[in-house]
Amino acid sequence: MDFYFKTLSISYKNTPLDIRERVALNEAQCAGLLQKLREVTGLQEAMILSTCNRTEVYYSSAEDLSYTIIQLLSIERGHVHNYDLFQYFDVINDNRKAVRHLFRVALGLESQVVGDLQIINQVKRAYQMSADADFAGPVLHRLLHSVFYTNKRVVQETPFRDGAASVSYATADLIRDLTQNLINPSVLILGLGEIGADVVRNVHELGFKNVFIANRTREKAEELARECSFQTVSLEEYKRYIDHCDVIVSSIGGEHLKIREAHIKSLDIPGYKHFIDLAVPRSIENAIENIPGVSLYNIDNIQAKTSEALHRRMEAMDLVQKIIDESIDEFMQWTKEMGVSPTINKFKNALEEIRKEELARYLNKLEPREAQLVEEVTRNILQKIVKLPAMHLKAACRRDDAENLIGMLNELFDLERQPVLKQKKGK
């Protein structure tokens, strides 16, 4: 099996947000693009990863299909003019570099926040979509399982995934810690700027259901609420929701909104009420933390937590890359061994023909029980004969010296006339 693996990528690193928005794909659009790739290009294996920071297509093909893929992506998104998009895409046609890129993306080394905790789950969903569409063959199955195993090693063997390294995720992580003993805790999120919107998506990822969101632009709140199955509230009535929510997060600057001590003092707080102020200038009066049952966290508390986590991650980068390199070496070795599989299959077929021809001459002279025994013995002999050349071929692959052995087997057993049995897809 010849191995070809390519990547087409557009990301925050070299592309402005307005362009990334034009190529970002939701789940239905990813499924639509996969179908178009199958119909137009004849690809057998492909995976599409689309997040707020990147849109990427991974595929197996001897041919560079990047221009066609961008055209199909543009059609899926409804763009008539797509020629200006090509300049923003990175095209990676080298097998090892494309594989390395996927590992680095999946493990968070290419994320805006190094070590991003969400990206591995986004990759898993992208892979599952390809598998469900029968668009993941031997290469993608093996490669993605290698990625997931490598991620497990990184989690177990390094501090790379310890702690939350972005303000929004650290905030969501704090909300989870503060409410871990509550059944269906309620959360009010005020303000949907970049950080506020990310907090909303992160609490959604963490499984929170009873979440209310408010924003000065109501349309943005309604759009995000639909995305995450949350509820919107009017910013004018936020005080009423403060009364019954367990956690209140504000990222609206203090010149536009102020949560004051007097209001919180007037509340009947039977347990605990937690406030997280992400705004600059601050939108929650410091004095409320003196009220019994009330806790207050500000942006400095959150950033101190993220800085510590990010420092640990950066220190672990070399170790993570070493683990990735080991996994890539193992995967690339597997692709080499897969390259000799057709020769091994042809060799086995040639011996099987000889075995059957010889058995046919004598089986009619044997009793059924004798025939069954001869069948079993000769099959076992064939397996043992095939095993040694197969081991030698795989060892030669590791030395990059398999061509001579393949040539000898082809010449000795006339393997060119043998059909190659189609391998079954498997994970």
| 67 domain-assigned | yes
Q: How many structural domains comprise the chain?
A: 3
Q: Return the CATH number at 33.
A: 3.30.460.30
Same-domain check for residues 196 and 292 = yes
- Give 258's contacts (C-beta < 8 A, 6+ positions apart): 283, 284, 285
Same-domain check for residues 175 and 294 = yes
Q: Say how far apart CA 234 and CA 245 lie, in whole Å.
A: 15
| 51 domain-assigned | yes
Q: Return the CATH number at 195.
A: 3.40.50.720
| 92 domain-assigned | yes
On the 0-12 / 13-18 / 19+ scale of CB atoms within 10 A, 127 is buried
Considering 306, 327, 360, which residue would you say is the last residue of a domain? 306
The yes-or-no verdict on residue 168 having pLDDT over 80 is: yes
Same-domain check for residues 182 and 141 = no
Write out pLDDT tens, residues 103-146.
999 999 998 878 887 789 899 999 999 999 999 998 999 999 99
Question: Whole-model pTM above 0.85?
Answer: no
Q: Are 205 and 178 in contact (CB under 8 A)?
A: no
Q: Say how far apart CA 348 and CA 390 lie, in whole Å.
A: 10
Considering 289, 306, 323, which residue would you say is the last residue of a domain? 306
What pLDDT is attached to residue 427?
A: 39
Strongest mean pLDDT among 133-137, 268-272, 403-407: 133-137
pLDDT average, residue stretch 307-320: 88
- In 44-171, DSSP assigns E strands to 46-50, 54-59, 90-92
Tell me the residue range of the domain where 409 lies: 341-417
Q: Say how far apart CA 385 and CA 381 lie, in whole Å.
A: 6
The count of other CB atoms within 10 Å of the CB of residue 255 is 9
Write out pLDDT tens, residues 355-372.
888 888 888 888 888 888
Q: Which residue has the tokens 């494309």?
A: 98
The yes-or-no verdict on residue 309 having pLDDT over 90 is: no
Catalytic residue among 30, 52, 245, 397: 52
Fill in the DSSP letter of residue 280.
Answer: S
Same-domain check for residues 176 and 137 = no
Same-domain check for residues 146 and 50 = yes
What pLDDT is attached to residue 384?
A: 84
pLDDT band at 177 (very low <50, low <70, confident <90, very high): very high
φ and ψ at residue 247, rounded to 5 degrees: -130, 135
| 89 domain-assigned | yes
pLDDT band at 305 (very low <50, low <70, confident <90, very high): confident
| 423 domain-assigned | no
| 275 domain-assigned | yes
Same-domain check for residues 153 and 217 = no
Considering 125, 157, 189, which residue would you say is the last residue of a domain? 157
Name all contacts of 416-421 with Cβ < 8 Å and 24+ positions apart: 418/345, 418/346, 418/347, 418/349, 418/350, 419/346, 419/349, 420/342, 420/345, 420/346, 421/345, 421/349
Length of the chain as a residue count? 427
Same-domain check for residues 187 and 151 = no
The yes-or-no verdict on residue 395 having pLDDT over 70 is: no
pLDDT average, residue stretch 45-69: 94
Same-domain check for residues 175 and 136 = no
Same-domain check for residues 84 and 186 = no
| 333 domain-assigned | no
What pLDDT is attached to residue 415?
A: 54
Same-domain check for residues 278 and 238 = yes
The CA-atom distances, in angstroms, between 300 and each of 138, 257, 400 are 48, 19, 56
What pLDDT is attached to residue 130?
A: 96
What is the average pLDDT value for the chain, to the nearest integer? 86
Same-domain check for residues 18 and 137 = yes
pLDDT average, residue stretch 17-26: 86
Q: Say how far apart CA 73 and CA 67 lie, in whole Å.
A: 10
The yes-or-no verdict on residue 174 having pLDDT over 50 is: yes
Q: Are 249 and 175 in contact (CB under 8 A)?
A: yes
The yes-or-no verdict on residue 82 having pLDDT over 60 is: no
The yes-or-no verdict on residue 407 having pLDDT over 90 is: no
> Does 52 qualify as catalytic in the annotation?
yes
Higher local confidence (pLDDT), 424 or 43:
43
Write out pLDDT tens, residues 197-252.
999 999 998 999 999 999 988 999 999 999 999 999 998 888 889 988 999 999 99
User: What is 10-23 written as a DSSP string?
Assistant: EETTTS-HHHHHHH
| 318 domain-assigned | no
Higher local confidence (pLDDT), 413 or 119:
119
Rounded percentage of the chain residues whose pLDDT exceeds 90: 51
Same-domain check for residues 258 and 367 = no
